[in-house]
Amino acid sequence: MNTTLFRPIDFLLFLIILFLVNACAEKPGDPATTGLKQYIGDGFVIKYPDSAQLDLKGANEQALRTVTLTGHNIELDIASGKIEMPTFQILIEWYENQEHTDAASFAQQLILSQYQQALVDDAPTRYWPVDESGEVKGRAKKVHGATAWESEFLSGDHKFVRTYIANRDKVISVGYRKYPIENNPIQPAWEVAYIFTLDSIRLLKD
């Protein structure tokens, strides 16, 4: 992947492209907005900048597939020296939802089962957003009128933020890594990419 020096204009252009998602009135399956591409799969349409790298992986123990969207690398000067990082990175996973449960119920059941398995395996459990009473921590939110569920997973020096969205027999989670600004000076851009990726999502109907 190419590496470039950080220029504020890169983020300005990126944000302009993402704002186009709100402005366009396309329906799923229509030609992509200029500067954007579409990923269509199992009940969902997701738009992303055409400059992003898309990495598709197949099924694992939990998910049907995983799509990682990564922006081009940039070089930054921080107190400890120069570092390289992508302008953004979004992780999207697809899950089976055979019982057609809502997003909150699905997410909470999935998180609790993973947490309980960690207990059985005597593995660290701090990662999972579950409180001392066994309740899943998170909040309900709206994604294009659909009620979704967002939880934050603790992972070393950052949080992994995921939003779960249900569409009949499938659920997706859309996530990004939320670092302290000291560890990622362009963290606000990562958050913006996450917000606008969520805003780009459309649910396919029969």
Average pLDDT in the chain: 85
CATH code of residue 196: 3.40.1000.10
Percentage of residues in the chain having pLDDT higher than 90: 61
Q: How many domains does the chain have?
A: 1
Q: Where are the alpha helices (DSSP H) in 51-186?
A: 103-120
pLDDT digits (tens, 9 = 90+) for 52-105: 999 999 998 889 999 999 998 888 777 777 888 899 999 999 999 999 999 999
Please give the Cα distance from 141 to 199 (Å, whole number): 12
SS3 of residue 150 by DSSP:
strand
Q: Is 175 exposed, middle or buried (0-12, 13-18, 19+ CB in 10 A)?
A: buried
pLDDT level of residue 12 (50, 70, 90 thresholds): very low
What's the pLDDT band for 34 if we cut at 50, 70, 90?
low
Domain enclosing residue 16, as ranges: 3-203
CA distance 141 to 107: 13
Orientation angle between helical segments 187-200 and 8-23, nearest 10 degrees: 20
pLDDT tops 70 at residue 137: yes
Tokens 């066994």, residue located = 134
What is the predicted pLDDT for the residue at 164? 98
Position 120 confidence tier, pLDDT thresholds 50, 70, 90: very high
pLDDT of residue 50: 87
